[in-house]
Structure 1
């Protein structure tokens, strides 16, 4: 299997008419917002990895620290102890691309040594000043996420999140200026600074993907605007890595429309994934290269349908038979 993001995208394009690649999530945290920590044990995480791969995942994203609202900081050694055994276990039986979801350079370094290929940094290289050098030194692939929580920590939508990073990245003057920017302008400013860091460290631009940070300290409207205008992000010349699975704004839309959203009920839990898959369809229609999801099976279906529509000119003139 091709062990880089560019390879997965090209492989998908040549073999499957530019189908979006699916990144399956494995949270090895006892307080995960999405799976309740049920995959905390290595064997359970490995079983989940097998399931996600069988359902169609091209990438697995391993995370050892929850970033949900109200979550707490995890010490570096603890995070390493959570993710490294899982990565090693998966790598012993699969060549699938593995992403380490961390903003800490030492965790990333340990994960890459254990067999990970990608660093998914929700702080966009700004949370740990050594991260860019680790990525450059190892020639790892990199996901740079726009993090509104870091760019405007006093915003009401940011207040419920934990603080990311070891220090203050922006000056008070910058914070004041950011308050006057639209969300699109703020994202552009954030990415510009992050990409300069990547370039100065010597990270190959072909190894970089951009994540618009859906759900991180954004209002409902801001989430929707960024999703509506993904093509503008594509214009920067980088592939998009998008995470919308089970995000709060999706659940809010369902709730306001009268759908069951209580995750303790079968219908509520299922509805969250169905709605998330609909967002994936919209993203695929806009050419997003990778979607990061919890329920691979439902998103795989969305990818197949949306890709077929997006690549309609490549379809064959098949005379469809009547269903029995």
Structure 2
């Protein structure tokens, strides 16, 4: 039995940028590993994120950070499904499951998830596209640079994504000559073809430019410069920049405290990430995947206000007291 289709462009019907709160049910995620890896702590965090203004929650049971390790399917299911079921008992918030494994996605959708957030863009598991299509679920398709150029220096520190090699040796050789924007589209074109073949409607799809996955600092920034191309192709954008390494590096180069063991360093990572959120909101990015809703809520309000300026009240502001 299929769910009613969730049309992803309508997640924030007021036209404002939405915020997707991250809940990593893992012991080893790069930023919050081990903090929410019980049902009780995960559900408490879900309540907290919802109260802060999250439009959506992203539940993940496998870390994809550099140096992380493969999680067996059954273990991943045991991590995410009870949390999804518990959240669903008390909230109708939109839930995505962060997985590239079809069996995990199928179990999560049955438990109440609405969207599959696949960092392999439906290419890591041959069965994934069919699972999404049969459930009429939403799909977030990410450009995965690690898969498109596995031998690149920035990619070798990541785990292997997917059950099989997606690209031929000839394709990988050709990809090595592409600039990063062309490489993104070469990958996403293959993902979109996979989705179309399975019967997934375009209205069910968001695209993610894969910020932070096996990219150099320059490449991350260039992809952010070219977000408009995703809109021009007719797709909403799902963007994850929260606490990413290139953001931290920008602060480090400026001599700003970023040590996560200090309160100031931890806070600065979120403040810097929220500046990117404000820029993204001003560009019309539909959904931002973030760790701390409060900082990013303020950022989206500013970015959205700039983008939607023509609809703002023509108010004469009072003088400061």
TM-score interval for Structure 1 and Structure 2 normalised by the shorter chain? over 0.9
Paired residue total: 318
Aligned to 1:314: 311
Residues 99 and 117 in structure 1, CA contact (< 8 A), matched pair in contact too: yes
Equivalent residue for 1:203? 200
Aligned to 2:103: 106
Q: Which residue of 1 aligns with 2:65?
A: 68
Q: Is the 8 A contact 1:124 1:146 kept in 2?
A: yes
Distance of 2:237 and 2:301 partners within structure 1: 18
**Aligned-partner SS, 1:181:** coil
Separation in 2 of the partners of 1:199 and 1:10? 21
Mapped pair 1:6 → 2:7: yes
- 2:50 aligned with 1:53: yes
RMSD (Å), alpha carbons? 1.1
| CA distance in 1 between partners of 2:5 and 2:305 (Å) | 25
Q: Is this contact kept in 2: 1:281–1:303, CA < 8 A? A: yes
Could you tell me which runs of 5 or more consecutive residues in structure 1 were left unpaired when the two chains were aligned.
none
Whole-angstrom CA distance in 2 between matches of 1:116 and 1:10: 17
Distance 1:53 1:140 in 2: 22
Whether the aligned pair in 1 keeps the contact of 2:181 and 2:226 (CA below 8 Å) is no
Given the alignment of the two structures, is residue 42 of structure 1 paired with residue 39 of structure 2, yes or no? yes
CA contact under 8 A between 1:4 and 1:97: conserved in structure 2? no
Structure 1 residue 322 displacement after superposition: 2.4
1:283 is the counterpart of 2:284: no
Contact 2:25 2:80 in 1 (8 A): yes
What is the alpha-carbon distance in structure 2 between the residues aligned to residue 5 and residue 271 of structure 1? 35
Residues 164-243 of structure 1 correspond to what in structure 2 (within 5 A)?
Answer: 164-243=161-240
Matched, 1:264 2:265: no
Alpha carbons of 1:297 and 1:43: their partners in 2 closer, same or farther (altered >3 Å)? same
- Give the conservation status (yes or no) of the 8 Å contact 1:42–1:89: yes
Structure 1: distance between partners of 2:251 and 2:141 = 29
Are the counterparts in 2 of residues 152 and 179 from structure 1 also a CA contact under 8 Å?
A: yes
* Secondary structure of 1:12 counterpart: coil
Q: Distance in 2 between matches of 1:58 and 1:102?
A: 20
Compute the TM-score of the two structures, normalised by the length of structure 2.
0.97
Pairwise CA distance, 1:232: 1.4
Match in the other structure for 1:21: 18
Scaled by the length of structure 1, the TM-score of the pair is 0.96
Instruction: Specify the alignment match of 1:302 in structure 2.
Output: 299
Whole-angstrom CA distance in 2 between matches of 1:39 and 1:151: 32
Partner of 2:155 in structure 1?
A: 158
2:128 aligned with 1:131:
yes
